[in-house]
């Protein structure tokens, strides 16, 4: 098998960086984003903070009153979380990152894995330039910085990424991977929490190197076959978990308002063609095929209707969407006298070739 080149992108101090983006005036101050529980003005916890605030000892999960105390006498800015806004920014970045990868796996609002083996011809030298280009594009188009780890698999990419933040780029070649992990404490591995690392320590296992050279049969005797083998492989920098999209979107849609209410098919199609362009781009970027095309219409009396059609076989192109949107709208307009105010285009019922391997990472996320 060809050497894989896997990247992890992790956005820097994400919620706080989003706040700086919409209000650059706070950039040079400590910025703390928190969830206010509402009981008193002070109660709640820190979600994240920018790196200036971190210098004063502010940490995620810390009570807000404690963060306030640490930042006393500074011009710190405290803001409530605005998930909707962070998701918008995240979606814009993810869309760009997705276009850099053969397969793409978003793991949270601010983290995604990319398999770029094909794009860089398996070369870690090329991967460096490629990651720099990707970082620069996101910086100039969205204004957000992030850190990247590059490795021969997801496990190494993730730990590489953590080793240099913010705005980091850390590359670990396959032949360096074991040595890179060796001195780190075992709790840097996914799935090794407090309890497990305490147990490992009692067996004399402190570093990943200790774990890598520990007898796998003994690990299996303590943790069972699946976990024992996993710990052994992970410590040896072995991980064949594939990068794949999780929880695929069920539909892709766009909606827009007409410049003026209308019953004219040609006029309405100008708008739906624009919307279809966006929908089709998303479909292509996510490497999907759809079997259902739908239009959504809000009429002048503000009532809304939708009409859909199921195709005989999956399609993936813009012209197919345009064709059926026209047919659906034409039929719909013949059924009503009312003018149209807003229109939407939606495709759904997706299919895609996907490997169906049970993943260890999902095993940990659910346990």
Taking the C-alpha atoms of residue 26 and residue 56, their distance in angstroms, rounded to an integer, is 16
Closest to ligand TTP by CB, 166 vs 314, is 166
Closest to ligand TTP by CB, 15 vs 124, is 15
Query: How many angstroms separate the Cα of 100 from the Cα of each of 78, 151, 253, 284, 292?
Result: 35, 16, 22, 13, 27
10 binds Ca ion (CB under 5 A): yes
Q: Which of 19, 20, 105, 111 is catalytic?
A: 111
Q: Which residue bears the tokens 């919307």?
A: 275
**Annotation says 111 is catalytic:** yes
Segment 95 to 134, residues that bind ligand TTP, using CB under 6 A: 110
Nearest to 49 by CA among 37, 22, 67, 73: 67
**Binding map of Ca ion across residues 119-138, x = CB under 5 A, - = no contact:** --------------------
Taking the C-alpha atoms of residue 304 and residue 298, their distance in angstroms, rounded to an integer, is 4
How large is the C-alpha radius of gyration of the chain? 25
Taking the C-alpha atoms of residue 109 and residue 348, their distance in angstroms, rounded to an integer, is 23
Taking the C-alpha atoms of residue 328 and residue 308, their distance in angstroms, rounded to an integer, is 7
In the set 6, 11, 239, 344, which binds ligand TTP (CB under 6 A)?
11
Sheet holding 77-80, edge to edge: 44-49, 31-36, 77-80
97 binds Ca ion (CB under 5 A): no
165 binds ligand TTP (CB under 6 A): yes
Q: Which stretch binds Ca ion (CB under 5 A): 9-17, 207-215, 283-291, 302-310?
A: 9-17
Taking the C-alpha atoms of residue 44 and residue 36, their distance in angstroms, rounded to an integer, is 4
User: What's the min distance (Å) between Cβ of 46 and ligand TTP?
Assistant: 8
110 binds Ca ion (CB under 5 A): yes
9 binds Ca ion (CB under 5 A): no
Size, binding site for ligand TTP by CB under 6 A: 13
63 binds ligand TTP (CB under 6 A): no
Q: What element of type H or E holds 169?
A: strand 169-171
Q: Which stretch binds ligand TTP (CB under 6 A): 5-13, 229-237, 299-307, 323-331?
A: 5-13
Contacts with Ca ion by CB under 5 A lie at: 10-11, 14, 110
Contacts with ligand TTP by CB under 6 A lie at: 10-15, 47-48, 60-61, 110, 165-166
């Amino acid at each position: 098998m060809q050497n894989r080149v896997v990247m992890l992108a992790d956005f820097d101090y994400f919620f706080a960086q989003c706040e700086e983006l919409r209000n650059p005036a706070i950039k040079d101050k400590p910025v703390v984003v928190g969830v206010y529980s509402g009981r008193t003005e002070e109660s709640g916890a820190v979600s994240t903070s920018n790196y200036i605030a971190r210098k004063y000892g502010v940490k995620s999960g810390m009570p807000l009153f404690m963060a306030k105390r640490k930042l006393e006498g500074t011009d710190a800015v405290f803001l409530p979380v605005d998930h909707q806004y962070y998701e918008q920014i995240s979606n814009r970045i993810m869309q760009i990152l997705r276009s850099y990868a053969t397969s793409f796996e978003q793991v949270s609002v601010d983290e995604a894995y990319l398999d770029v083996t094909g794009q860089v011809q398996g070369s870690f030298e090329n991967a460096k330039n490629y990651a720099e280009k990707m970082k620069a594009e996101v910086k100039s188009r969205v204004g957000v910085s992030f850190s990247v780890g590059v490795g021969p698999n997801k496990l190494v990419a993730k730990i590489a990424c953590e080793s240099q933040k913010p705005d980091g780029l850390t590359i670990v070649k396959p032949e360096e991977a074991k040595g890179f992990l060796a001195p780190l404490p075992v709790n840097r591995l996914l799935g090794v929490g407090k309890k497990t690392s305490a147990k490992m320590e009692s067996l004399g296992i402190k570093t990943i190197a200790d774990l890598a050279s520990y007898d796998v049969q003994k690990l299996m005797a303590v943790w069972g076959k699946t976990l024992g083998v996993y710990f052994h492989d992970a410590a040896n920098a072995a991980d064949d978990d594939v990068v794949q999209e999780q929880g695929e979107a069920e539909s892709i849609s766009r909606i827009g308002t007409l410049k003026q209410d209308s019953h004219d098919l040609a006029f309405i199609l100008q708008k739906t063609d624009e919307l279809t362009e966006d929908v089709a781009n998303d479909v292509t970027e996510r490497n999907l095929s759809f079997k259902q095309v739908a239009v959504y219409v809000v009429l002048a009396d503000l009532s809304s209707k939708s009409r859909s059609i199921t195709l005989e076989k999956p399609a993936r192109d813009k012209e197919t969407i345009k064709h059926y949107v026209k047919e659906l709208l034409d039929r719909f307009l013949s059924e009503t006298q009312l003018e149209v105010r807003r229109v939407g285009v939606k495709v759904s019922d997706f299919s895609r070739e996907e490997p169906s391997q049970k993943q260890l990472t999902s095993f940990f996320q659910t346990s």
